[in-house]
Structure 1
């Protein structure tokens, strides 16, 4: 596959305050330096923080929700729920196993999308109406809990060798000596002091497994 040099950029990913400054060239062409880029639908920043990605997907979700409001103004709640689950929710859950946020503000920002969708579903914008009740009525589980389930499911698929990935590069199985151990697929936990690593997929999910 040929690489389009004119569309290629590079990003320094580091938590150092004074990282090494080096320019990269491909086929004699100097690549443009960027602080963030999108890869397979996920916005990656030089400091591996999730704020920009969360903002991007929330904005996209609101645009889709606005579109549904215009098209399904007189539709039944059942139709609106189906539309939300098919069009809006996937946009804030795509590849969530690898970017599940840990900051409260980012978690709340994502939940706000679903809370606004709940009002749309029942056409109820009364400030005195509890959104929590609307969410329960629509049987919509929190996005945070759905992301957790998605991570655990992905982890299970990995340790069950359902993916063509050498998992030994990412975690080491723990030898369980008890014959009646509740979990026979335990792994040695990671040691981490950097937040972006501490809350990354393998470290975070392994602790919950």
Structure 2
């Protein structure tokens, strides 16, 4: 069970009906704990989600869980600390929402500031627009070209709106503004997170995901042997 402010999350790997029963018992224990400490939860605000392969979610009968005597609603997407989680962890809905929000904010800026020079653009864009596309990107960074292009299109349009930039290519605009591409920023962010994980900057449990590759075969053999030890979000950074 994880607690963050007034949010509570409980989870378990479900392989059979016995695992479902164990999770239900945990929910009962959690409900009792909340009552004991006068922090009663609201079952109508609580939901449950199965994260896994589509075939498993549709073929098998979904379990019904209860909290404090009330059935928990099933959901296919849920916002958690600013990140929209979906059952297959594709984050496509999250990406679409972030693109929509970033475009809305930049549209508001264009309507508010009738003239925007390079200095004011950089200040407003970096603080209000780009932050929408950067937040927690190490978790949801896209791997599909269509999603990468959709995200990059936000910065393409924004930089093109500046006076004198309309006829310049995207790389030329970035060079003048001294801006990196959004995909570069995501890769850089992944590398920073990877460094922190492998150097115990977070905690030893997080670092345990990454095992030493020293002294065990050729680089190619090491890569194949240890790829499964690396969280999927960082496999491209480590192996490429």
TM-score range for the pair, normalised by the shorter chain length: 0.7 to 0.9
State the distance in 1 between where 2:120 and 2:204 align.
40
Number of residue equivalences: 194
Q: Give the structure 2 partner of residue 37 of structure 1.
A: 78
Deviation at 1:37, TM superposition (A): 0.8
Q: Give the structure 2 partner of residue 189 of structure 1.
A: 226
Does the 8 Å contact 1:9/1:32 carry over to 2?
A: yes
Q: Give the structure 1 partner of residue 191 of structure 2.
A: 152
Q: What is the TM-score of this pair, normalised by structure 1?
A: 0.82
CA 1:162–1:112 in 2, change beyond 3 Å: closer, same or farther?
same
Q: 1:77 aligns with which of 102, 118, 132?
A: 118
Q: 2:163 aligns with which of 119, 123, 134?
A: 123
Deviation at 1:207, TM superposition (A): 1.8
State the distance in 1 between where 2:105 and 2:225 align.
42
2:176 maps to 1:137: yes
Deviation at 1:20, TM superposition (A): 4.1
Name which structure has the greater RCO, CA cutoff 8 Å, separation 6+.
1
2:52 maps to 1:14: yes
State the distance in 2 between where 1:154 and 1:26 align.
36
Q: Give the structure 2 partner of residue 182 of structure 1.
A: none
Deviations 1:113-136 (A, max 9, x none): 10011023x13584x543332222
2:96 maps to 1:48: no
Does the 8 Å contact 1:173/1:188 carry over to 2?
A: no
Q: Give the structure 2 partner of residue 109 of structure 1.
A: 150
More helix by share: 2
Which of the pair has more CA radius of gyration? Answer: 2
**Structure 2: stretches of 5+ with no match in the other structure:** 1-5, 7-38, 217-222
2:235 maps to 1:203: yes
SS in 1 for 2:131: helix
Deviation at 1:70, TM superposition (A): 1.8
Q: What is the TM-score of this pair, normalised by structure 2?
A: 0.72
